[in-house]
Amino acid sequence: MQPTLSLLCLPCAGASATMYLRWRRLLPRWIEIVPVELPGRGVRLGEDFVEDFDRMVALLCVEQDAAMRGHFALFGHSMGALLAWGIAQRLHVTGMTLPRALLVSGSAAPSQRDPERFVDLSDDDALIADLRKQGGTPEELFLSPELLRMTLDTLAADYSVCKSFMRVGDASLPVPLHVLAGQKDDIEPWRIEAWSGETVHNGFTLDWFEGGHFFIRQQETRVLSTLAQRLAQSITGGVYAPRAFA
């Protein structure tokens, strides 16, 4: 069976597109995972980081133009959720084809981001403490000076992207919006629930999972099952729903 929907997946801060590679063999065959690599990491390690939100979104829209044709959807976790929303907004404003669905995970709504989130995260010790607090980072990374240096540099650049974000206007998206969240994440529930105001489509859902900020790893099987269900529901007529797990 050939893939019938491309799911562009944007990484969280400090990570690369490799965080989504295993999903290719775990999701239904009608979903084609397209891991989106950001500058300065993974196969783009030799490139300079992009540290501005609007510039990053504009760059990704150009780079992923071919992938965003036909049937596609956007998914992002944490910083990736904000980038996915930014891409959808840019496509909407410029009159381009919109995603069949926007799926966001582990993130406050753009209108309710915590202004104190990145205060005092300007040195290595603070970044390391934040990594440990968020969880999801293998202990082996902290024991490797080279890997830790690369991670901290990437994290600092990505936090600059997040700090540069400014929500302008009130352009709610006319696409189904599906939110995934961890019950023990330190993001206040009301900041997550505010995603409902980011769409004028009646296809809004919010699914809670056991776990903290990286519940997508802790509850991977259930998360992927939910992703497949929500994507199936977002396709006009629900024609994919009977084979959502094929």
pLDDT tens digits for range 68-120: 988 999 999 999 999 999 999 999 999 999 999 999 999 999 999 987 787 77
Q: What is the pLDDT of residue 169?
A: 61
Q: What is the pLDDT of residue 236?
A: 54
- From the list 216, 236, 241, 229, the residue with the least C-alpha distance to 22 is 216
Q: What is the pLDDT of residue 239?
A: 46
Mean pLDDT of 191-207: 95
Q: What is the pLDDT of residue 45?
A: 93
What is the share, in percent, of the chain residues with pLDDT greater than 90? 71
- From the list 190, 170, 167, the residue with the least C-alpha distance to 179 is 190
Has residue 244 got a pLDDT over 60?
no
- In one-letter notation, the amino acid at residue 222 is R
Q: Which two tokens stand for residue 171?
A: 């352009």
Query: CA dihedral defined by 213, 216, 218, 224, rounded to 10 degrees?
Result: 160
Task: Say if residues 74 and 103 touch (Cβ distance below 8 Å).
Answer: yes
Question: In this predicted model, which residue has the larger pLDDT, 206 or 145?
Answer: 206
What is the share, in percent, of the chain residues with pLDDT greater than 70? 93
Q: 209: pLDDT confidence band, cut at 50, 70 and 90?
A: very high
- From the list 67, 65, 9, the residue with the least C-alpha distance to 38 is 9
Mean pLDDT is lowest, of 46-50, 130-134, 202-206, for 130-134
Contacts of 129 (CB under 8 A, 6+ apart): none
Task: Say if residues 134 and 213 touch (Cβ distance below 8 Å).
Answer: yes
Mean pLDDT is lowest, of 130-134, 173-177, 197-201, 242-246, for 242-246
